[in-house]
Amino acid sequence: MSASRLTRRRAITLAGAGVAGVAGVAAGAGALVGDSRGPAAASDHPAGAVPFHGEHQAGIVTPAQDRLHFVAFDVITKDRARLVEMLQEWTAAAARMTAGRDAGVLGAVGGMPEAPPDDTGEALGLPPSQLTLTIGFGPTLFRDADGRDRFGIADRRPAALAELPKFPGDALQAPISGGDLCVQACANDPQVAVHAIRNLARIGMGVVSVRWSQLGFGRTSSTSRDQATARNLFGFKDGTANLKAEETDLLRDQLWVQPGDGPDWMTGGSYLVTRKIRMLVETWDRTSLAEQEEIVGRTKGSGAPLGRGKEFDEPDFAARGDDGKPLIAEHAHVALAHPSRNNGAHLLRRGYNFVDGSDGLGRLDAGLFFIAYQRDPRRQFVPIQTQLARHDVMNEYLRHVSSGLFACPPGVRDGGDHWGRSLFG
């Protein structure tokens, strides 16, 4: 759908307000009122904008931004045509917002006073802030919890989109897990990320409803060699061994779905796993530094593997101390998660810290919102997490309370393409 197309629901809204000649107004809206975000509207890729169109969706290997607003939606309509129309509208709005423009052509202040604005307005005057919007489709979109194929796409569900197993120690809360659709909004300004999700939810009213959402700050992984490794709320560098955008061979093997892996509509896409992990920070804070480093398998200061000197040195799992014990314990997090212990499996992580206030006992409700992309969760996330859930001593300080799995299709190629076109086409 063209970004200048007036949506059916928008036309109905304006018609209800008694506005004549709506189609003509909409067709010329860009020229008549322009975009209320100012100079950014003059270019499809203004300074600070990440291109929306491409072979792969932005927001995966894009250098990880500082802020996150992640949302999962339930589809509440049974009308396939309405769902597809909404995905078209979402795509047009996403292309505009990632370029620093209003969600709709008429914008926050450029429409008729008698009608609701085409944009909520809280991002007026703000730059794009490297906003990326990444969509994914959950298992229940293909067949819901009652086994119904609501949209005639059950036979197009990839085998890799199998429900994740229950892992030892999981304490998952159903209301904040799963979802038919998800959108990951990342930006360097939290207001820009929230604005994007708010407007997609507004556009989707009557077709989808928000199931759950999560705000995140302080990225906990680097997706480019140009980025320094960030720290999690335990104070350790996180994601040192993460896949990087520059590792093209590894990305092909470990991140992007390849021809023959499954249905054609997923070729060039990736599978997204989310886990909300509450960290018992008060208990961790009373643990000695030596024990913390033994649990992680790295030094807290530099992030170097125990027994090595620099952060990016390869761990030596055979090295032993003067007492004859391994310098990196077999149960250390870095040992259990290392590709050499998991048949070479890697993940591309894009997690964020979160603090959701405090509980009734005055403890921080804080932790890691884990996000990982991969070519096939059955070969990557599932075996890695199974190993960690069974043996990682760090589990004493963690509670996994939310989980999600989504199939993220390839990128939107151009203005004639839209999210879900190859799936529903």
Question: Is the pLDDT at 114 greater than 90, yes or no?
Answer: yes
Question: Is the pLDDT at 166 greater than 70, yes or no?
Answer: yes
Question: Is the pLDDT at 88 greater than 70, yes or no?
Answer: yes
> Domain range spanning residue 316?
1-425
Gap between the Cα atoms of 99 and 46, Å rounded: 7
Task: Return the pLDDT at 283.
Answer: 97
pLDDT tens-place string over residues 41-68: 444 566 789 999 999 999 999 999 999 9
pLDDT bracket for residue 38 (50, 70, 90)? very low
Segment 183-187 mean pLDDT: 99
pLDDT tens-place string over residues 287-296: 999 999 999 9
Question: Considering the chain, what is the average pLDDT of its residues?
Answer: 91
Q: Which amino acid is present at 217?
A: F
Gap between the Cα atoms of 392 and 408, Å rounded: 29
Per-residue DSSP letters for 119-146? S--TTTT---TT-EEEEEE-HHHHS-TT
Question: Is the pLDDT at 180 greater than 60, yes or no?
Answer: yes
Token pair in block for residue 182: 């998800």
Gap between the Cα atoms of 222 and 244, Å rounded: 7
pLDDT bracket for residue 253 (50, 70, 90)? very high
Three-state secondary-structure class, residue 409: coil
Gap between the Cα atoms of 124 and 393, Å rounded: 47
Per-residue DSSP letters for 266-324? GTT-EEEEEEEEEE-HHHHHTS-HHHHHHHHTB-TTT-PBTT-SSTTSPP-TT-B-TTS
Token pair in block for residue 403: 């989980």
Question: Is the pLDDT at 233 greater than 70, yes or no?
Answer: yes
Segment 100-115 mean pLDDT: 96
**For 20, what's the count of Cα atoms within 13 Å in the CB-facing half-sphere?**
0
Gap between the Cα atoms of 257 and 107, Å rounded: 37
Q: Answer for the pair 122, 195: CB distance below 8 angstroms, yes or no.
A: yes
pLDDT tens-place string over residues 129-144: 999 999 999 999 999 9
Domain count, the chain: 1
pLDDT > 70 fraction of the chain, expressed in percent and rounded: 89
Across 2-11, 24-33, 373-382, 396-405, least confident range: 24-33
pLDDT tens-place string over residues 342-373: 999 999 999 999 999 999 889 999 999 999 99
